[in-house]
Amino acid sequence: MKILAIETSCDETAAAVVTDGVAESNVISSQIDVHRTTGGVVPEVAARLQLEVIQPVIDQALRDASTEMKDVDAIAVTAGPGLIGSLMVGLETAKALAYATGKPLIPVNHLAGHLYGALANLQEFTFPYLGLIVSGGHTELVLMDDHHSFTLLGETRDDAAGEAFDKVAKLMGLPYPGGPEISKLATQGNPDAITFPRAMLDQDTFDFSFSGLKTAARREIGEGSPDKARLADIAASFEAAVTDVLIQKTLRAAESYDPEAVLLGGGVAANQKLRNDLTASCETAGLALKISPPEYSTDNAAMIGIAASYAPPGLTGAAARKVTADPSADLAPAT
Ligand code: KG4
Ligand code: ZN
């Protein structure tokens, strides 16, 4: 099945052609340069920019895959969660395309998409998987017991991991988005220089909390402007604290649920320290691990197309055309 996939949940406009679960093109137009000027995403601006580039991005994705619209079997689109204005651009475009061409529409949960980024290019699936989703808006541990069937085990009670990276970077005077900037700076620092809090590790829950860590980092940064070496130490120690908590909670959940493999997806999965440390920890624990490749970690449409390739039949067809954006559509517990 050949799927044209569209993803516009935040500040990336993305389209991909995915055939039988394998991406043949993956086009991403980023708004980072614009949002850098405001130090973060302004939702109205993001939606307007999505509208400007959505059609050229789709055209490019089709061209890159040497595909014409008539050869596409279905159209997949991110239905939520995300910024409502941004989501609507992708959704309305996808609905119009589906209506005009008579092709089925497949709505995809953005967070499910992030997990399918980790499942890219897989020939065989062996459930259950334990998924760690770490993005700018979400931090969740989920048990995936079948395609598109998830049980939420734990989530952040305040900031998402990526959000914490972005906020601390802003306090340090680093540009948006802060995650890659902090990890770059962290390579020059000492991760043991500052002992930042590891919240909720002593509690019997798979939930996370990162707001205390952000406050502790703010205190270390202080009012003045610390020198570069000190900032690098703060960045390295902060990154170590985030990855430490994420990994410890994941290993604990793996002990409780005995998954066939651990999945790591979402924008923060692009973080090299998290990738390295989780790989080492899973090896030690004898756990299989699948990490989304960096190009499928931050927002992209290939992961949405891959997820749609394994969507249950009920998700397609006329009923799906009525889908509307639901920004609160977290990966709800399976019932
Ligand atoms: O999944 P994503 O592209 O968008 C959302 O769904 O939110 O994630 C974006 C987040 C941002 O907070 C960004 O700072 C973070 O992922 N991020 C990183 C890295 N690359 C992106 N965080 C830490 N290290 C990175 N290398
Ligand atoms: Zn995302």
List the one residue out of 45, 32, 46, 292 whose CA is nearest residue 180.
32
Alpha carbons within 13 angstroms on the beta-carbon side of residue 207 total 10
**In whole angstroms, what is the distance from residue 40 CA to residue 177 CA?**
7
Nearest-ligand number for the alpha carbon of 269:
1
Pocket-testing residue among 278, 298, 304, ligand 1, by greatest number of atoms within 8 A of Cβ: 298
| pLDDT at residue 31, as a whole number | 86
| pLDDT at residue 312, as a whole number | 84
Q: pLDDT (tens digit, 9 = 90+) per residue, 2-20?
A: 999 999 999 999 999 999 9
Q: What is the DSSP letter of 208?
A: B
**In whole angstroms, what is the distance from residue 80 CA to residue 162 CA?**
18
Confidence of residue 317 (pLDDT cuts 50, 70, 90): very low
The atom of ligand 1 lying closest to the CA of 82 is 6
List the one residue out of 154, 118, 117, 109 whose CA is nearest residue 333.
154
Residue 332's contacts (CB-CB under 8 Å, 6 or more residues apart) are 150, 152
| pLDDT at residue 271, as a whole number | 98
**Distance from residue 214's CA to the centre of ligand 1 (Å):** 16
**Distance from residue 300's CA to the centre of ligand 2 (Å):** 8
Q: pLDDT (tens digit, 9 = 90+) per residue, 94-115?
A: 999 999 999 999 999 999 999 9
Q: With 50 as the cut, is the pLDDT of residue 230 above it? A: yes
Q: With 70 as the cut, is the pLDDT of residue 322 above it? A: no
**Distance from residue 266's CA to the centre of ligand 1 (Å):** 7
| pLDDT at residue 91, as a whole number | 97
List the one residue out of 211, 209, 274 whose CA is nearest residue 247.
274
Q: Which amino acid is at 155?
A: E
**Distance from residue 73's CA to the centre of ligand 1 (Å):** 31
Q: What token pair was written down for 289?
A: 């691990």
Query: For 50-68, what is the mean pLDDT?
Result: 97
**In whole angstroms, what is the distance from residue 274 CA to residue 250 CA?**
12
Nearest-ligand number for the alpha carbon of 161:
1
- Grouping H, G, I as helix, E, B as strand and the rest as coil, residue 93 is helix
Query: Ligand 1 pocket: which residues have CB below 6 Å?
Result: 10, 135-137, 162-163, 165-166, 177-180, 183, 266-268, 270-271, 298-299
The atom of ligand 1 lying closest to the CA of 110 is 6
**In whole angstroms, what is the distance from residue 104 CA to residue 101 CA?**
9
The answer to whether 76 touches 305, Cβ cutoff 8 Å, is: yes
Q: What token pair was written down for 159?
A: 């900031």
Q: With 90 as the cut, is the pLDDT of residue 247 above it? A: yes
Q: Where are the beta strands (DSSP E) in the chain?
A: 2-7, 12-19, 22-30, 74-80, 105-109, 129-134, 139-146, 149-155, 261-265, 289-291
| pLDDT at residue 334, as a whole number | 39
How much is the mean pLDDT over the chain?
93
